[in-house]
């Protein structure tokens, strides 16, 4: 579904992503793990059109055609079904829960469809229905994460980009979120997941990549990487 080839991205003078290439097949959950500063967030920001790439290509193939994300405007990318749930949630604190969800559906115009998606999101996260008139800034960390995901779902994503969903969440909440993620995959959404919490990510990933200094260092299935000695030592803290 997503083919990234030869991606080079600079932030200021720093060469962050160096000839990055990887694939995400339709319907699968791919995980990108790596240390801080390896370039994980940069990758997602570039895929969503918020950062300019120096060179390379990132082609998304849906049933309706293909689109090179590197040459498209952010709005076009969202309309093509590539939706990001950014690092730190980035919900609109001064808007209500309902308004946040409505903003997620900004690129869609069919009111009936939007209403249906909203119902689905409410079913998935009942708290969002309960607190629909609350200002988003008043929600707890876990609730904000649910709102962020709900908002992303309202864009009817085909490819969902998740940037550090577990960040700052209590362990119980992390499990809940990851259950939701697995459920989403089961319903047909392709997912690209960035996580520092490598253990949980590798557990649910079909395919996984280790990003080191802007390049893919190790690639394989989730299980393969979880069993890889190097990965275990450096990223899972197991063994010595």
- Using CB under 8 A, pick the residue from 7, 24, 91, 234 that binds other proteins: 91
Q: Between the CA atoms of 100, 103, 108 and 111, what dihedral angle is there, to the nearest 10 degrees?
A: 60
- Residue closer to other proteins by CB (options 100, 228) is 100
Q: How far apart are CA 202 and CA 209, in angstroms?
A: 9
113 to 142, contacts with other proteins by CB under 8 A?
137
- Using CB under 8 A, pick the residue from 25, 75, 170, 223 that binds other proteins: 75
Write down the least CB distance from residue 227 to other proteins, Å.
35
50 binds other proteins (CB under 8 A): yes
Tell me the two tokens of residue 177.
Answer: 């979120």
Tell me the two tokens of residue 148.
Answer: 């962020």
Q: Which of the stretches 34-42, 82-90, 139-147, 228-236 binds other proteins when contact is defined by CB under 8 A?
A: 82-90
Q: Which of the stretches 58-66, 96-104, 192-200, 225-233 binds other proteins when contact is defined by CB under 8 A?
A: 96-104
Radius of gyration for the alpha carbons in the chain, expressed in angstroms and rounded: 17
Q: How far apart are CA 195 and CA 174, in angstroms?
A: 12
- Using CB under 8 A, pick the residue from 92, 124, 196, 203 that binds other proteins: 92
Terminal Cα-to-Cα distance of the chain (whole angstroms): 38
- Residue closer to other proteins by CB (options 58, 78) is 78
Q: Which of the stretches 9-17, 53-61, 92-100, 119-127 binds other proteins when contact is defined by CB under 8 A?
A: 92-100
90 binds other proteins (CB under 8 A): yes
Q: How far is CA 29 from CA 108, 184, 189, 234, in A?
A: 25, 10, 9, 22
84 binds other proteins (CB under 8 A): yes
Residue with tokens 């393969």: 224
Q: Which of the stretches 73-81, 139-147, 171-179, 209-217 binds other proteins when contact is defined by CB under 8 A?
A: 73-81
- Using CB under 8 A, pick the residue from 17, 83, 146, 184 that binds other proteins: 83
Q: Which stretches within the chain are classed as H helix?
A: 40-47, 74-79, 97-104, 111-124, 126-130, 141-153, 171-186, 198-204, 222-227, 229-234
167 binds other proteins (CB under 8 A): no
Number of residues that bind other proteins (CB under 8 A): 26
Q: What are phi and psi of 131, to 5 degrees?
A: -105, 35
| Residues contacting 6, CB < 8 A, separation 6+ | 19, 20, 21, 55, 56, 57
49 binds other proteins (CB under 8 A): yes
Q: Which residues bind other proteins (CB under 8 A)?
A: 48-50, 74-75, 77-79, 83-84, 86, 90-95, 99, 102-104, 106-107, 137, 151, 155
């Amino acid at each position: 579904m997503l083919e990234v080839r030869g991606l080079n991205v600079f932030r200021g003078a720093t060469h962050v992503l160096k000839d990055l290439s990887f694939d995400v097949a339709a319907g699968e959950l791919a995980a990108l793990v790596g240390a801080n500063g390896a370039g994980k967030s940069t990758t997602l920001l570039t895929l969503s059109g918020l950062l300019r790439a120096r060179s390379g290509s990132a082609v998304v193939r849906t049933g309706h055609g293909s689109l090179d994300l590197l040459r498209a405007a952010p709005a076009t990318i969202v309309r093509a079904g590539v939706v990001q749930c950014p690092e730190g949630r980035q919900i609109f604190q001064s808007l209500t829960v309902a308004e946040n969800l409505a903003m997620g559906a900004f690129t869609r115009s069919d009111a009936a469809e939007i209403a249906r998606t909203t119902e689905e999101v409410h079913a998935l996260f009942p708290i969002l229905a309960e607190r629909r008139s609350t200002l988003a800034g008043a929600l707890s960390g876990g609730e904000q994460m649910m709102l962020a995901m709900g908002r992303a779902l309202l864009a009817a994503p085909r490819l969902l980009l998740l940037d550090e969903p577990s960040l700052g969440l209590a362990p119980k909440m992390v499990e809940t979120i990851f259950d939701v993620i697995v459920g989403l995959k089961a319903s047909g959404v392709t997912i690209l997941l960035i996580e520092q919490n490598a253990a949980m990510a590798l557990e649910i990933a079909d395919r996984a990549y280790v990003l080191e200094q802007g390049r893919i260092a190790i690639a394989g299935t989730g299980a393969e990487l979880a069993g890889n000695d190097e990965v275990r030592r450096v990223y899972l803290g197991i063994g010595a």
